[in-house]
């Protein structure tokens, strides 16, 4: 059993991180063959897969918007993703809420007016969870959308900060989230620092919120660089494949 007192000892967290260290983050783009865009994010013990389909025909048809693309988003936890005291997996009030906030985030990031009368579908599957899955899912979905070639104002970054035993820290894991005092999952556009989403579980003072935002803004650069690196690597692989194809055609 992890107790509240175990979360911070001499400025170190249970996994050895300092207050302002992120968990190890690995991002891969283009991991699914059949999706238009995809990404796998492994962030600490979290593993989230995102797939994007579209722009495509709207279903159901009456939802069509003649001026812009509509966004559909679905966040779901796999039954084996680490559900403990939280009960069953599958669609529930929590996953419905997260799907809704993800939809709002991307409605404000995607240049939807470039694809009138269509639909862009974002699917996020949490394969393994350890706190911060909604921000990991948004970080993955952002890369999947870029991989699908869907234009956005910037590639959104999801990151959370919070309060544990009186200290403000970044990138809370499950125990810090569950036993800590507060968690503030946030989504920003890293280039401008524009906030697309900020949720707050628990209480923070005005000063603490400001400190948490500063930490998020600073560390979002690290996440953003990983997203870009994943996309560059994806394009490198695709151009290699095209190159090989051309070589085979001419040979």
Q: How many CB atoms lie within 10 A of CB 58?
A: 17
Q: Which of 162, 155, 156 is nearest to 199 (CA)?
A: 162
Nearer to ligand CDP, 38 or 129 (CB): 129
Q: Which is nearer to ligand CDP, 51 or 82 (CB)?
A: 82
Tell me how crowded residue 231 is: count the other CB atoms within 10 A of its CB.
Answer: 19
Q: What's the CA gap between 169 and 212, in Å, rounded?
A: 7
Q: Compare residues 17 and 134 and give the one whose CB is closer to ligand CDP.
A: 134
Q: How far is the CB of 188 from ligand CDP (least distance, A)?
A: 16
In the bound state with ligand CDP, the residue whose beta carbon lies nearer, of 55 and 185, is: 185
Among residues 25, 230, 18, 23, the alpha carbon closest in space to that of 142 is found at 230
Which residue ranges make up the site for ligand CDP (CB under 6 A)?
Answer: 77, 82-84, 86, 94, 129-134, 174, 177, 185
Q: Are 197 and 159 in contact (CB under 8 A)?
A: no
* Pick 125 or 177: Cβ nearer ligand CDP: 177
Q: Output the smallest distance, CB 37 to ligand CDP, in A.
A: 22
From the CB of 132, what's the least distance to ligand CDP, in Å?
5
- What six digits make up the tokens of 38? 């995809």
Question: 146 by DSSP, 3-state: which?
Answer: helix
Q: How far is the CB of 142 from ligand CDP (least distance, A)?
A: 15
202 to each of 5, 11, 131, 133, 199, how far by Cα in Å?
18, 22, 15, 18, 10
Q: Which helix (H) or strand (E) holds 21?
A: none
Structure tokens at 83: 């559900």
Rounded least distance, CB 241 to ligand CDP, Å:
35
Measured between alpha carbons, how far is residue 118 from residues 52, 59, 123, 150 in Å? 13, 9, 17, 12
> Taking the complex as a whole, how short is the minimal distance between the CB of residue 137 and ligand CDP, in angstroms?
8
Nearer to ligand CDP, 83 or 217 (CB): 83
């Amino acid at each position: 059993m992890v107790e509240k007192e175990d979360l911070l000892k001499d400025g170190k967290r249970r996994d050895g991180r300092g207050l302002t260290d992120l968990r190890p983050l690995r991002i891969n783009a283009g991991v699914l063959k059949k999706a238009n865009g995809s990404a796998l994010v492994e962030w600490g013990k979290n593993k989230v897969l995102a797939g994007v389909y579209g722009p495509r025909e709207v279903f159901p048809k009456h939802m069509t918007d003649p001026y812009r693309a509509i966004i559909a988003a679905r966040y779901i936890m796999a039954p084996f993703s680490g559900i403990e005291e939280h009960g069953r997996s599958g669609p529930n009030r929590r996953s419905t809420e997260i799907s809704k906030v993800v939809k709002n985030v991307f409605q404000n990031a995607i240049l939807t007016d470039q694809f009138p009368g269509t639909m862009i579908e974002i699917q996020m599957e949490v394969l393994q969870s350890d706190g911060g899955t909604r921000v990991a899912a948004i970080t993955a979905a952002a890369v999947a959308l870029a991989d699908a070639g869907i234009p956005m104002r910037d590639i959104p970054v999801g990151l959370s900060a919070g309060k544990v035993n009186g200290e403000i820290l970044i990138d809370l894991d499950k125990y810090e989230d569950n036993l800590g005092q507060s968690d503030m999952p946030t989504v920003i556009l890293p280039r401008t620092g524009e906030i697309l989403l900020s949720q707050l579980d628990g209480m923070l003072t005005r000063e603490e919120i400001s400190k948490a935002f500063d930490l998020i803004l600073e560390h979002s650069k690290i996440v953003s660089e990983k997203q870009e690196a994943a996309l560059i690597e994806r394009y490198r692989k695709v151009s290699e494949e095209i190159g090989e194809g051309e070589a085979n055609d001419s040979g």
